[in-house]
Chains A and B, each alone.
Chain A
Amino acid sequence: MKVVASLAFAAAALLTTGAGAQAQVTKVKIGVMSDMSGLYADLGGPGSVTAAKLAVQDFNPAAHGLDVELIGGDMQNKPDIGSNLARQWFDVDGVDMIVDVPNSGVALAVNEVAREKNKVFIVSGAASSDLTGPKCSPDTVHWTYDTWMLANGTGKALVKTGGDTWFFLTSDYAFGHALERDTTAVVLANGGKVLGSVAHPLNTSDFSSYLLQAQASKAKIIGLANAGGDTINAIKQGAEFGITSGGQQFAGLLVFISDVNSLGLKTAQGLVLTSTWYWDMTDANRAFTKRWQVEHPGKFPTMVQAGVYSAVTHYLKAVAALKSTADGKAVVAKMKEMPTDDPLFGKGMIRADGRNIHPAYLFEVKKPEESKYAGDDYKLRATIPADEAFRPLKDGNCPLVTN
């Protein structure tokens, strides 16, 4: 485990509260668990730690009677390492809440550990909609996005504009399969057809074989149910193999701004994607980006990192109201009871199944000549209102809802 950042707000809190006459200070320890060095490190990783740090700063814990400590750790995209780290954090290091975890396999494992230990788990990075479906937990909140929302956004938009036959390239683990399943449902529901799919191992460098299979299927849309480096390689090599010039179109089901910058606009232009946050949408987002870039010059925060900011903010509000972190279920119940409101995600709410509800946006990647400055990558095609962006509560099979 790698401790990335450790903020001692203790001293500051003691200084400002004065000589002990004040009410008791509640200690809070937040663990940002992310992929610090692998293929998802740019979309979460150290940038998520920075986002959490900014959230704590903005909340001003001392004024709310809180003493917040922040640590970061690397789950290396391995469920066993992630669940061990979670156990160590909860049992030994006194962590009260884990946030981020940009890997569905790891997030599903940490979900169970948090449930067992009755500690809070807020997912910003992972995508599997099972986290608020069959695997939903009274200790877990799923913050930023999920596979149902991605499928519903990108999938529906493409089928409606004529992309009615699909072939999937699917990352062979929990996330990829969930994304393929949810997108297939959307394609079929809107009158489209799925012609086939191929599952590839995580971290594949050469996609040409899979691309050739996709090409042979003659599907109009090649759905990329993968993320990070895998998506980048697939699109980069797809351009080379004449996929797009041959009339087929890629649907990047999960594309982050870090991926678009790696591909370059020349290769990525025209790509349609769904995201819940874009740095250049509002003044508040731009202001956040500027502060975030102090630690990550030349990069742009992803929706996952912005989600960490928003999630930590709301968690601290709930803890400040309860004045205790001891009972994870109680904290999550409080979070569900209070409406969410922060500068980055605006107003929203958390449903009974743990799903955080806010609008989603359908973007198209700009052409190189349309981009006026670094990071000017997306144009907005449609806004999906909060009540349509996520899976209806009754369809998730979450035991918390049916019981």
Chain B
Amino acid sequence: MFEIFGIPSQALFGQLLLGLINGSFYALLSLGLAVIFGMLNIINFTHGAQYMMGAFTAYLLLQYLGLNYWVALVIVPILIGATGIVIERLFLKRLQQLDHLYGLILTFGLALIIEGLFRNYYGSSGQPYAVPEALQGGHNLGFMFLPNYRAWVIAFSLVVCFATWFAIERTRLGSYLRAATENPTLVRAFGINVPRMVTLTYGFGVGLAALAGVMAAPIYNVSPQMGSDLIIVVFAVVVIGGMGSIMGAIVTGFALGIVEGLTKVFFPEASNTVIFAIMIIVLLIRPAGLFGRSA
């Protein structure tokens, strides 16, 4: 067995894989943010709260209705996506003509309100949620013990990420969406209901956050502040990838997961700062982000 910088290669492979798993959460969340920003020009600060709502709803469904993880995986994104649609109709629609900052402040305020409500009812220390039975246990890969649930997380989020990318970049519906972002008036002239499309897109982006929340519930502590712990990092991921770039969000999400994973081995104290250091460097060299098109 060989060593890299004093770390056994086996341990290093393990850390790379773990980084990829964490990266899949970053990718799922930043994907939702990128979709929303790309289509609505809204910096959705509620995203962390919506991720938390996803995890909490999964817990509530299990606790009070006895609905298991698999049901939650389907129902929760729809439910939380629907609340997103309500938010879009009630508030965000009215801000469309205004500066980005208004949307940012509105969604930030909503996030604080939602977190406060959950904290008020459920406290801050979190709720238990078990790994679904079918995915308990794990496999010894030789260089590490890989829990089945983590393998599922990485596989499923890859599928979701690339399906989303395909839908937006390669289908007719996606082309309408992209056209509507470029020039809504013209697209409307072709008889396409742009406001409805925008509403549904926001609902979809929120649904992605909720889906990430359900996937996180069995492994992370389901607590009201789980979203705010993560959201700042995810914003950095989106900025590094290029605001609004779908592929950028996905690739950067996974890549930064790996970078963070390696930092946890070589310099653990810096693991929550490294992403921001990268963000500063990227902004200095490519202000539009790695995959962004400069305006």
Q: A233-B220, A240-B131, A266-B130 are in contact. Are A42 and B124 (CB under 8 A)?
A: yes
Q: A213 CA to B145 CA in the complex, in Å? A: 12
Measured between alpha carbons, how far is A233 from B218 in the docked complex, in Å?
10
Mask: chain B, 145-183; 1 = CB below 8 Å from A; 0 = not? 101011000000000000000000000000000000000
The complex places the Cα of A24 from the Cα of B218 at a distance, in Å, of: 60
Query: How many whole Å from B245's CB to the nearest CB in chain A?
Result: 25
B-contacting 9-mer, from A10-18, A113-121, A201-209, A286-294: A201-209
Segment at the interface with B among A186-194, A257-265, A328-336, A387-395 = A257-265
User: Which of B13-21, B189-197, B246-254, B284-292 lies at the interface?
Assistant: B13-21
Indicate whether B109 reaches chain A with its CB closer than 8 angstroms.
no
With A205-B221, A209-B264, A240-B147 as known contacts, state yes or no: A216 contacts B11, CB within 8 Å.
Answer: yes
- What sequence of 0s and 1s flags, for each residue 107-138 of chain B, a beta carbon within 8 Å of any chain A beta carbon? 00000000010010001111110110000001
- Return chain A residues, CB-CB under 8 Å to B219: 206, 236-237, 240
Question: Which of A199, A209, A262, A266 is the one whose CB lies under 8 Å from B15?
Answer: A209
Question: Once the chains bind, are A42 and B21 in contact (CB under 8 Å)?
Answer: no
18 A-B residue pairings within 8 Å (CB atoms)? A37-B124, A41-B119, A200-B271, A201-B271, A206-B18, A209-B19, A209-B264, A216-B8, A228-B125, A236-B220, A240-B149, A241-B138, A241-B147, A242-B138, A242-B147, A258-B125, A263-B128, A267-B130
A37 to chain B: closest CB distance in Å? 6
Q: Please measure, in the bound complex, the distance between the C-alpha atom of A40 and the C-alpha atom of B125, giving whole angstroms.
A: 7
**Residue A253 lies at the interface, judged by CB distance under 8 Å to chain B:** no
Q: How many residues of B contact A (CB 8 A)?
A: 40
Q: Contacts of A45 on B, CB cut-off 8 Å?
A: 124
Interface residue A232 (Cβ < 8 Å from any Cβ of B): yes
Knowing that A199-B268, A240-B131 touch, tell me 15 more A-B residue pairs with CB under 8 angstroms: A38-B124, A40-B124, A42-B124, A198-B268, A200-B269, A203-B229, A205-B230, A210-B264, A210-B268, A213-B265, A229-B223, A229-B225, A240-B138, A262-B125, A264-B128
Please tell me if the beta carbons of B128 and A212 are within 8 angstroms of each other in the complex. no
| Residue A64 lies at the interface, judged by CB distance under 8 Å to chain B | no
Residues of A within 8 A of B14 (CB): 212
B28 interfacial contact with A, CB 8 Å: no
Q: Would you call A212 and B11 a contact (CB within 8 A)?
A: yes
In the assembled complex, A5 has its CB within 8 A of some CB on chain B: no
Which of B123, B131, B230 has the most chain A CB within a 10 Å cutoff? B123
CA distance A242 to B149 in the complex (A): 12
A378 vs chain B, min Cβ distance (A): 17
Contacts of A201-251 to chain B: CB distance below 8 A: 201, 203-206, 208-210, 212-213, 215-216, 228-229, 232-233, 236-237, 240-242, 246
Task: Say yes or no: B145 contacts A229, CB within 8 Å.
Answer: no
Min CB–CB distance A302 → chain B (angstroms): 10
Task: Decide: A212 near B15, CB < 8 A? Known: A42-B123, A42-B125, A262-B221.
Answer: yes
- Taking the closest CB of chain A, its distance from the CB of B140, in whole angstroms, is 9
* Interfacial chain B residues near A210, Cβ < 8 Å: 264, 268
Bound state CA distance, A203 and B11, in angstroms? 24
Q: 4 closest A-B pairs (Cβ-Cβ)?
A: A264-B128, A42-B125, A209-B264, A41-B124
The reply to whether A208 and B221 form a contact with Cβ atoms under 8 Å apart is no
Residues of B within 8 A of A39 (CB): 124-125, 223, 225
The number of residues on chain A lying at the interface, defined by a beta carbon within 8 Å of a beta carbon of chain B, is 43
Within 8 A of A (CB), among B201-226: 218-221, 223, 225-226
Q: Tell whether A350 is near chain B: CB-to-CB under 8 Å.
A: no
A43 touches B125 (CB 8 A): yes
* Chain B stretch 3-26: residues in CB contact (< 8 A) with chain A: 8, 11, 14-15, 18-19, 21-22
- Whether A337 sits at the interface, judged by CB under 8 Å, is no
Measured CB to CB, the closest approach of chain A to B99, in angstroms, equals 29
User: How far does the Cβ of B274 sit from chain A's closest Cβ, in whole Å?
Assistant: 11
Greatest chain B CB density within 10 A among A37, A228, A240, A242 is at A240
* Residues of chain A with a CB closer than 8 A to B126's CB: 229, 232, 262
Name the residue on A nearest B233 (C-beta): A205
From B8, B22, B119, B127, A37 is in contact (CB under 8 Å) with B119
Q: Which residues of A contact B96 (CB under 8 A)?
A: none
Q: A205-B226, A208-B18, A209-B265 are in contact. Are A262 and B127 (CB under 8 A)?
A: yes
B66 to chain A: closest CB distance in Å? 16
Report yes or no: B145 in contact with A215, Cβ–Cβ below 8 A.
yes
A342 at the interface (CB under 8 A from B): no
Interface residues of A in 32-85 (CB under 8 A from B): 37-43, 45
Contact of B221 among A198, A209, A213, A229 (CB under 8 A): A229
Q: How far, in whole Å, are A229 and B128 apart by their CA atoms in the complex? A: 12
Given contacts A212-B15, A213-B11, is CB(A206)–CB(B225) below 8 Å?
no
- B272: CB under 8 A from chain A? yes
List chain B residues, Cβ under 8 A from A241: 138, 145, 147
Contact residues in A for B144 (Cβ distance below 8 Å): 212
Q: Across the two chains, which residue of chain A brings its CB closest to B131? A: A240
B242 an interface residue at 8 Å Cβ cutoff?
A: no
Please indicate the chain A residues that have their CB under 8 angstroms from the CB of B145 in the complex: 215, 241-242, 246
Contacts of B268 in A (CB 8 A): 172, 198-200, 210
Q: Is the CB of A205 within 8 A of B220?
A: yes
Name the residue on B nearest A170 (C-beta): B268
Interface flag for A299 (CB, 8 Å): yes
Q: Cβ of A233 and Cβ of B221 under 8 Å apart?
A: yes
Contacts of A259 in B (CB 8 A): 125
Chain A residues, CB < 8 A from B218: 240
Flag whether B261 is at the interface (Cβ < 8 A): yes
Please, how many angstroms separate the alpha-carbon atoms of A3 and B93 in the complex?
36
Interface centre among A203, A206, A259, A299 (most CB of B within 10 A): A206
CA distance A203 to B116 in the complex (A): 18
Least CB separation from A245: chain B residue: B137
Residues of chain B within 8 A (CB-CB) of A42 are: 123-125
B11 partner residues in chain A, CB cutoff 8 A: 212-213, 216
Bound-state Cα–Cα, A172 to B264, Å? 13
Which partner residue on chain A sits nearest B264 by CB separation?
A209
